[in-house]
Amino acid sequence: MEHVLTPEEKRFILVVERGDTASAAQMIAEYRAQGQSANFDIDCVDPLGRSALSIAIINENPEMMELLLEHMIRVGLKDYCVRASVL
């Protein structure tokens, strides 16, 4: 069964897609402060199967990529494949 994004996850994906690094950083900080009780998965994927990191790579946004990697977002094989196809 496919995971349905929470409102927070939808907002996070949208913020990343728009390239709003400040808002993404704020959301990540709030997520980290809430810990396990957060209704938010930083490694969520959109309905197209794209993670936040994949979106940042596709949009060629190095600031967002750096932010996501600094906060230890999971890097999957799919992210590497997206990066390779952009090059």
Spans of all domains in the chain? 7-86
**SS3 annotation, 40-82:** CCCCCECCCCCEHHHHHHHCCCHHHHHHHHHCCCCCCHHHHHH
- Report which DSSP code applies to 45: B
Cα 19 from Cα 66, distance rounded (Å):
12
- Predicted confidence (pLDDT) per residue in 10-46, tens digit: 999 999 999 999 999 999 998 888 876 667 788 889 9
The number of beta carbons lying within 10 Å of the beta carbon of residue 31 is 17
Pick the CATH number of 7-86 from 1.10.3260.10, 1.25.40.20, 3.30.479.30, 3.30.43.10: 1.25.40.20
- Looking at residue 75, its pLDDT comes to 60
Kindly tell me if the per-residue pLDDT of 56 is higher than 70.
yes
Q: Whole-model pTM?
A: 0.78
Kindly indicate the confidence band of residue 3, based on its pLDDT and cuts at 50, 70 and 90: confident
